Copies of this chain bind each other. A is one copy, B any other.
C-alpha cells in the first residue's frame, strides 16, 4: 500500500522567541549547524520512505508562502492550509480526506515538523515497522520514545509487554504529564514511553476512528472532501473549520480508541522544546559555550549565545541564554527558559505586536 506523510506545521511556538515570531514559528527556523530549517530536515528525513509528491504539509494559511519557499519540491496541492488552528484532530482529518480523495486508501505517517532525530536509519526502520503493523492489522499505531530520564513535560504511554504484534506492543493507556515522583516510577517499570506525537495508520482507519469518536468533526470532514477541487472548496473549508471543535487527536481519539499499538523508538529524538535544546544539539567549546554570530566572551561558561550583527560581549556570566535578532534580544537564565512565555504575555498585554 502506498505510504504517505502528513507533516503538521501549524504551530505558533513561543519558546524560541525572539527568533521565533508569530510570523516565523519554530518549524521554519534553522536551529542546527547544518543550515536547514526544522521542517526541511523533517521532509528530508522521511524521503527514503515516502516520495516527495506523497508528502502533505498541513499548516496555517499564514505560513503557506513560508512552506513554499522552504520546500519548493512539495506540490502546491499538498500544502493544506487550515483557516484557523483547531488542534490536531481536525488537522489530521483534513489530511486524511485529501489522501482518501487522491489515493482511496494509503498508509499515512503523521509527523510533527519541529523535532530533531539523530539516527535517521533507525527512525526509518521504526516507521517502516509501524507501517507494517498499521497496514496489516488496521490499527492505530504510534511511536513512543524510550525515556532516558524522568521528564515531567511530556505525556507518557503505557504499553503491555506481553501483548505484541510484529515489533509493536499493545497500548494500555495514555497518561498526562506526570509529576517528578510519578515520572520516576514510570521509568522504573520500563513500561512507559514518551508520547512523541508521531502516528501511523491507514487513511481508512483514522477516518473510521474519527467517525466513531468525533462524529460531528467527521461529518464536516466529509463535506470538505466532497468540495475538494470544486469552486466551493475554500468556502466549505472555512465554514467547516469555523464549526469544528478544537480537539487533540490524543484526547479526541487515541485515549478512547480500543486497539492501539506502539513501537518504542531509540533514535536520538529531541523535541527541541526550548533554547536549552540548542546547547544539546550544537557543539559546545571547551567552556561549555555554544556561540554563533558576532560575540566576544570573557570568563563565560555554559552559555548559549546566538548573536547577530551587533557585537555581544559577555563578561563573567554562566548558564545564560542570549539570543539576538535585529529588533529584540533575549537574556535568559538557563534555568528559566520556560519563562520566556512571560515575556510574550507582557508584550501582548502592552500590545507591542511588532515583537510577537
Contact = CB atoms under 8 A, between A and B. Distances in A.
Contacts of A315: 330-333, 336-337, 339-340, 342-343
B299 A316 contact: no
A310 B330 CA distance: 11
Contacts of A296: 343, 346-347
Nearest to A325: B310
A330 B326 CA distance: 16
A122 interface: no
Contact of A313 (B311, B317, B328, B333): B328
Given A296-B347, A298-B343, A331 B336 contact: no
A279 B157 CA distance: 52
Contacts of A111: none
The winner among A314, A316, A346, A355 for most chain B CB atoms within 10 A is A316
A18 interface: yes
A127 B302 CA distance: 51
Nearest to A335: B316
A228 interface: no
A331 B313 contact: yes
A181 interface: no
Q: Which 6 A-B pairs have the closest CB atoms?
A: A316-B336, A316-B333, A315-B332, A311-B328, A313-B343, A298-B342
B329 A312 contact: yes
A322 interface: yes
A327 interface: yes
A320 interface: yes
B18 A339 contact: no
7 contacts: A311-B329, A313-B328, A313-B332, A315-B330, A315-B337, A315-B342, A324-B329
